[in-house]
Amino acid sequence: MSKVGFRDRASAAIKSKEALATAAGAKRFTERRIQAAESFPAMEAARDEAQRIRLHTLANLDRYLEQFAQSATNAGNFVHWATDGEEANKIVLRIAEESESRLVVKSKSMVTEEIELNHTLEEAGIEVVETDLGEFIIQLAGETPSHIIAPVVHKTRKQIGELFAEKIGVDLTEDPEELNAAARFYLRTKFLEADLGISGVNFGVADTGSISLVTNEGNGRLTTTAPRVHIAVMGMERLVPTIRDLGVMLEVLARSATGQALTSYSTVITGPRQPDDADGPDELHIIIVDNGRSNVLGQSTAEILGCIRCGACLNVCPVYRESGGHAYGTTYSGPVGAVLVPSLLGLQDWGDLAQASSLCGACLEACPVRIDLPRMLIELRQRRVAQRLATPGLRRAIKTYAAAATRPTAFRVMMRAGGLAARFRPTTSGWMTSLPAMGKKWTSTRDFPSPETRTFHQRWKKSR
Ligand code: SF4
């Protein structure tokens, strides 16, 4: 287990200003998603179709990866395979060196966050500029994103104004339009001077070898067309079989992420610049990254690879809303992170994230591809207990309960003791707010249902 676990990080985060900003942002996104779904009668059918496409793709991933690599190569791209983050970073560095690139512009990409690409490039003396407004702010602040689609959901306008004044020397303002204009002015020169553009990939299309990107700021298009070379880094699971399938995914993604009918800039790129094209890069490299994903394919949590990174599950999760994304201590937060990260990086260090859920089921209800997050959270918890990775207190409690529950006499004694305790400390609400001894920790954060004063057996006997 990591030295500082989720519980400690969350305890600190809950008291911060970030938590309030996160909760407000998550609420806004949820309201927009619900509105978008209600105004699109075919939403439920589209979700069913999107789920079918993702499950089918994962079940045939080897075949679709091969087809995608072949089609992308035929379209004039260079396709590279990386087994882990280190290898992916080395490939990027090699391309940067071969193309004599000194300035890189990046559009938003979670997989490059995952493999910490920026560090590698900066260590090699290459300047990297994030061009998504949220990512740009995060980079100036020296932080990591706290949300999959809204990296600065935890920041207030005041904080961003102060940051801009300090880091890029503009007049102090909280006005969103002025802040936007300042960022646009700063980034425009970077786009024009950049040698290399790096993007993620929202979806790769197997039969055409195309890659699809969605952004709301147009920075993705500038990143992928202005510099001489474009590198697209793609998690190996991000495929759909056909362009028609891509249409379905874009429909549910935009509505679930931001509540739009379609993201402002939905781009499909098939190959580098052609002789008659007015613009575009001379070279387009696609790096397909495994980094633990093929391992997850063999696990009972493989379904999580169907995730399309819309962020809806984060926005509805009561734990995420209270603690914010940084409490998860890793790139992916919220329910998707609580399943994906332990599956990718192991239960030993990250298993406690699976506890970061109330199992209320809101994430499953919100997920556009109907990923059964609660089922996988429970499975990870079970695995953690089976591998003896749960905290000693929890293990003791489960052991004690199991010993009593498998012995009828002991179980009866336990139930009677509970009944006596309830008579001794009656409650009007039906909930106990403080328990002694081992139960203290439980009631320090939530109430415990009061036991019945008479056991089932006692009532049964009486009724007969
Ligand atoms: S698990 Fe579902 S709801 Fe959560 S980010 Fe992925 S696609 Fe969206």
Ligand 1 atom with the shortest distance to the CA of 373: 1
d(CA 301, CA 292): 13
d(CA 141, CA 167): 9
d(CA 443, CA 112): 41
d(CA 342, CA 24): 28
Closest CA to 75 of 284, 252, 294: 284
Residue spans of beta strands (DSSP E) within 112-179: 127-130
Residues 6+ apart with CB under 8 A from 265: 213, 214, 215, 216, 217, 218, 220, 221
Determine if ligand 1 sits within 6 Å of the CB of residue 340.
Answer: no
Cα 451 → chain centroid? 39
pLDDT number for residue 446: 81
Are 329 and 9 within 8 A, CB to CB? Answer: yes
Query: Do residues 35 and 46 share a domain?
Result: no
**What separation in Å is there between the alpha carbon of 196 and the centre of ligand 1?**
30
Query: Do residues 372 and 407 share a domain?
Result: no
Strand partners, 203: 212
CA-angle at 329, arms to 325 and 333, nearest 5°: 40
Query: Do residues 365 and 430 share a domain?
Result: no
Are 42 and 255 within 8 A, CB to CB? Answer: no
Ligand 1 atom with the shortest distance to the CA of 257: 8
Query: Do residues 121 and 219 share a domain?
Result: yes
Expressed in angstroms, the distance from the first to the final Cα of the chain is 53
Structure tokens at 238: 């991000």
Q: Which helix (H) or strand (E) holds 64?
A: helix 61-74
d(CA 71, CA 57): 16
Structure tokens at 404: 């009593």
pLDDT number for residue 2: 45
Ligand 1 atom with the shortest distance to the CA of 314: 4
Residue-range definition of the domain harbouring residue 436: 396-463
d(CA 183, CA 192): 15
pLDDT number for residue 412: 87
pLDDT number for residue 59: 97
Sheet holding 210-215, edge to edge: 239-240, 203-205, 210-215, 265-269
pLDDT number for residue 200: 97
Of 390, 421, 444, the residue at which a domain comes to its end is 390
Query: Do residues 376 and 401 share a domain?
Result: no
**What separation in Å is there between the alpha carbon of 334 and the centre of ligand 1?**
9
Strands 127-130 and 103-106: parallel
Would 459 be classed as within a structural domain?
yes
What is the full per-residue pLDDT of the chain (464 aa) written as tens digits?
A: 446 899 999 988 988 888 889 999 999 999 999 999 999 999 999 999 999 999 999 999 999 999 999 999 999 999 999 999 999 999 999 999 999 999 999 999 999 999 999 999 999 999 999 999 999 999 999 999 999 999 999 999 999 999 999 999 999 999 999 999 999 999 999 999 999 999 999 999 999 999 999 999 999 999 999 999 999 999 999 999 999 999 999 999 999 999 999 999 999 999 999 999 988 999 999 999 999 999 999 899 999 999 999 999 999 999 999 999 999 999 999 999 999 999 999 999 999 999 999 999 999 999 999 999 999 999 999 999 888 887 777 778 888 888 888 998 988 888 888 888 878 777 778 888 888 777 787 888 788 888 888 888 888 888 88
DSSP annotation of 305 reads G
Structure tokens at 159: 């904080």
Are 316 and 358 within 8 A, CB to CB? Answer: no
Query: Do residues 324 and 401 share a domain?
Result: no
Query: Do residues 327 and 432 share a domain?
Result: no
Are 272 and 284 within 8 A, CB to CB? Answer: yes
Determine if ligand 1 sits within 6 Å of the CB of residue 372.
Answer: no
Q: Atom 3 of ligand 1 has which residue's CA nearest to it?
A: 367
Would 301 be classed as within a structural domain?
no
Would 300 be classed as within a structural domain?
no
d(CA 332, CA 326): 9
Of 337, 371, 390, the residue at which a domain comes to its end is 390
Closest CA to 215 of 132, 272, 308, 110: 132
Our count of domains for the chain comes to 3
Would 303 be classed as within a structural domain?
no
Of 325, 356, 390, the residue at which a domain comes to its end is 390
d(CA 86, CA 79): 17
d(CA 369, CA 372): 9
Query: Do residues 249 and 349 share a domain?
Result: no
Half-sphere exposure of 206 (CA within 13 A, CB side): 21
Query: Do residues 256 and 331 share a domain?
Result: no
Would 246 be classed as within a structural domain?
yes
Would 62 be classed as within a structural domain?
yes
Would 78 be classed as within a structural domain?
yes
Determine if ligand 1 sits within 6 Å of the CB of residue 307.
Answer: yes
CATH of the domain at 241: 3.40.50.10420
Q: Atom 4 of ligand 1 has which residue's CA nearest to it?
A: 313
Q: Atom 8 of ligand 1 has which residue's CA nearest to it?
A: 310
- Alpha helices, H only, 194-288: 219-225, 243-257
Residues 6+ apart with CB under 8 A from 125: 102
Would 298 be classed as within a structural domain?
no
Determine if ligand 1 sits within 6 Å of the CB of residue 58.
Answer: no
Query: Do residues 271 and 191 share a domain?
Result: yes
Give the CA distances from residue 154 to residues 42, 341, 391, in Å, rounded to whole numbers and listed in that order: 33, 21, 30
Determine if ligand 1 sits within 6 Å of the CB of residue 353.
Answer: no
Query: Do residues 448 and 379 share a domain?
Result: no
Query: Do residues 10 and 70 share a domain?
Result: no
pLDDT number for residue 1: 40
